[in-house]
Structures are given as structure tokens and as C-alpha cells.
Structure 1
Amino acid sequence: MPDVDAAPGSEESRAAVYTTLAAGQDLRTELEIKRSRFITVLRRTETEAAARDLVAGLRREFHDARHHCSAFILGPDRSVQRSNDDGEPSGTAGIPMLEALSRRETTPGVTDLSDVTAVVVRYFGGILLGAGGLVRAYSESVSTALDAAPLVHRTRLRICAAEVPHAQAGRLENELRSAGFVMADTSYGAQSTVLRLALPDAPDTISAAADRLLSLTAGATVLMPEGTEWVDVPIS
């Protein structure tokens, strides 16, 4: 069947922070239900093109499988939600998969998972599962994969930069991390290193970080606010 759009839901927009998969390799799990194999692949995706690339790649890899069902949620506010039954009876695969993603509580009472695509590859085992059995199988496949998935908070933060001598950069970065600050990308020039801190966009927080850096460098380094970026923050 064609892709099915799902309403984003009525929950408050989470444009400043949401939960997603940790960056890295695809996560794969497998269930066997009444001789059918259900291979689930989760990938962090930020665009529809990336989500569809995952589906296309798995169609090539598992070219002899009967079904390659998919669901994805994209965007900080989870505004893009799609699902596809790929030949299974209407509503028995893609929508249960999408609901497993959209209803996933990343912390108690919070359902904010986004920028994630799930594909379930099914090898038919010869035993019909029925509509209810298929719904449970596809939902369980995605839920089981999510149980094993490493998650991070994707947060919109203010980037503040500090130019420091190369010889001090490693020590200062370790000191700042130890103090609980989140570090963004570091860059290296011919004469100096630019450390970047990712901070909540609040004047008191930025001021506290600037004071800490001044203390660590005996007043020699000034923290300069830059733009904002989406930054992965580990879930404590």
C-alpha cells in the first residue's frame, strides 16, 4: 500500500528538545513468530530521503524477503510521520510500527522520539498470523528494537567559543566537561584551538560558563556567544 500519513498528535511542540537515536550504526534485532522471521532495523534519519534510502537499501540486502514494512517520524516537533504496509493487509504493519515509535515513552510520561526510521523485513514462515497476529508482531518487533536502542536528547543550544593555546586545550576541555558543560565541535588553527561549549540560551548560564573559563585561564580567555545548533546530549 502507499505511504500513510499520521497526525503528529496533540502534544505540545518540543521544538527546543526531543529524543532520538544516538548517532552511529544501524540497530538490528530479530524475532521469530510462528516460523516467520521479523528483522527490525532502526536508523537515525533527519530527512524523508534518508528514511527512504534505508528502505531501498534493505530491499536490496533482503531481496528475497516478502515484505519490507516501514515507519518513520521526523522533525523536532514530529510533524512528519509516515508508514507503509508493503503488501501486508492494510493497517496491520506500518501503522502498528508507527504507533510503537510515536507512543514510545523516552522518559515516564514523555513521548518525544523523532528523527528515527524503523523497517521490519519479514520472511514468511508458512503459517498465517491473522490481522491481530500481524499487528502484534510488527508492534513487538519495533518495541523490542527500541528496548535495545541507545537514545540521546537532541537539544537546541547556544554555542559559545573560546580561543585557547594548543597546549592548554586538552586540559581546559577536560575541566569543562568535568564541570558538567556540554562540548560542541572543537576546531584547530595554526596558532590556537577553538573550544566550543553548548549551553542553554539563557544569560545567567552563559555568564556562569564565561566566569568558569576566566577562572580556569586566570582571566586570559573570553567566551564569545555564537549561533545556536542542535546538539546531542547524553541522557543521564
Structure 2
Amino acid sequence: METDYLTIKEAGQHELEIKKSRFIADVGRVTTEEEAQAFIAGVIGREPKATHHCWAYVLGEHDEIQRESDNGEPSGTAGVPILTVLKRNELHNAITVVTRYFGGIKLGAGGLIRAYSNATSTGVEATGVVRLVRQRELTLTVSYPLYDRLAHYLTENAISVLDTAYTDAVAVTIAVDLDAVTTTQEAITNLLSNQFTVKEGPVAYHEVPVEIHASNR
């Protein structure tokens, strides 16, 4: 991808019980259909006796690939609600499989839609969401007397420190949002009276936690 985007923090699981039926939501991050199908197969293999394994996933910068399955539930009552939650939370390269163990009480179409939607929402919330932000790595080399001043600035401005190497000087590798590279370098130049060297590194994605609110469900 060439833009920042939201996705699942890490693979996780959350369970709800609704009218004696168990709904187990497995959420994860995938980047290809092969990974998505492997994720689904893994859940099915873990829960082979479940009544249903319903799922949905979105892939691509613009969600070019969207797939969903009701897996035997009435049409439109499981896969689409799962997919809707993923899209409503603006998640990309994400998958959810909701495994159901039928508890003997029928929920009706509306009840199933709410159940699969809630299972997905709580699964996403419990597991967590991150924003993958494209950032430029910068390696700043300073003398020991100036290091504390630099470290304080980085902490105060919540700039991610990726590595610190101590030799005859201190080399601090940081990650800076692409649109803030120039202003950050200028600020550090003023802070240290230009008594440092900087080496630009590659652009890479770094994860920033994102809080999911109930209104996004």
C-alpha cells in the first residue's frame, strides 16, 4: 500500500453467548487471499464440530477484494454483517471468522444479523486496532553532552525511537511521519544548534495504536 491504513493489531479471539449459542470471533491480519483461506482453514481445523464457520475479509488499498460466507446460515445473516463491521471500522487487510455452536434456540434473521455483527465488533475491540503509518527512518548522531537534550525532545514530542547505539557518539534512529520529516529536522537543527548529523533511511510502516469506540460498532 502507498497510504496509511487501519488494520487488526494481531490475531485474537473473543467469545459471546447469545441465547445459549456460542459465537467465537477470530480476527486477524491478512494480505493475500491465500493467507485468508489459510486463516479460515485454521479456525475450522481448531473447531471441527462447530455448527457454522461464517467469515468475511477485505484486502487491498481500496478494498479491491471483499469476500464473505454465510456457511449455511440464512443468506445475508452472517457473512454480510461481519463484512459490514470490518468496513464500518475502516479496516483493511483484515479477516474475521465467527464460529457458531448452536444452542437450540433459533434467533431469526434479525437476531442472527445482530449476533454476528456483535461478535465481530467485540472481537475487533478486544483484539485491538492499529494504524499503519508510513514513516521515514532518520539516524541522528550527536555527542554525549547533547544526547539528553535530544532524548527529552523526542520524548516530549512522542517521536518513536527505533534504536540507540552508543560508540564515540550516540546514534539515535527515529521514525517520523513523511509529512513531518522536514519540520522535525529543522526543529532538531535549532534545538542542537546544528551540532549533529542526520542520515535518512528507508520508508517503512510503523504501528500506532487506535482506540475503537462503541459508536464504530
Question: So what's the TM-score if we normalise by structure 2?
Answer: 0.78
The Cα of 1:82 is off from its aligned counterpart by: 1.4
1:141 Cα deviation after fit: 1.1
Shift of 1:178: 2.9
Q: Aligned to 1:64, what secondary structure does the other structure show? A: coil
Whether the aligned pair in 2 keeps the contact of 1:75 and 1:115 (CA below 8 Å) is yes
Q: Which runs of 5+ in 2 are unaligned?
A: 212-217
The alignment's C-alpha RMSD in Å is 3.1
Between the aligned partners of 2:101 and 2:26, the Cα distance in structure 1 is 14
State the partner residue of 1:121: 99
CA contact (8 A) 1:73 1:82 kept: yes
1:114-162 alpha-carbon deviations (Å, 9 max, x no partner): 2221110111112222333222211121122233342222122233233
Equivalence for 1:108:
none
1:38 aligns with 2:58: no
Residues paired across the two proteins, number: 211
Greater fraction of residues in helix: 2
- The amino acid of 1:20's aligned partner reads T
Q: Which amino acid aligns with 1:135?
A: I
Provide the identity percentage.
Answer: 34
Could you tell me whether the CA contact under 8 Å between 2:8 and 2:124 is conserved in 1?
Answer: no
Measure the CA separation in 1 of the matches of 2:8 and 2:86: 12
- Secondary structure of the residue that 1:88 maps to in structure 2? coil
Aligned ranges 1:1-236 → 2 under 5 Å: 15-22=2-9, 24=10, 26-104=11-89, 112-163=90-141, 175-183=153-161, 185-186=162-163, 195-202=172-179, 205-214=180-189, 219-235=194-210
Counterpart contact for 2:142–2:197, Cα < 8 Å: no
Q: CA deviation at 1:218?
A: 6.2
TM-score calculated relative to the size of structure 1: 0.73
- The CA distance in 2 between the partners of 1:42 and 1:166, in whole Å, is 46
Secondary structure at the counterpart of residue 178 of structure 2 = coil
* Residue equivalent to 1:5: none
Letter paired with 1:57: G
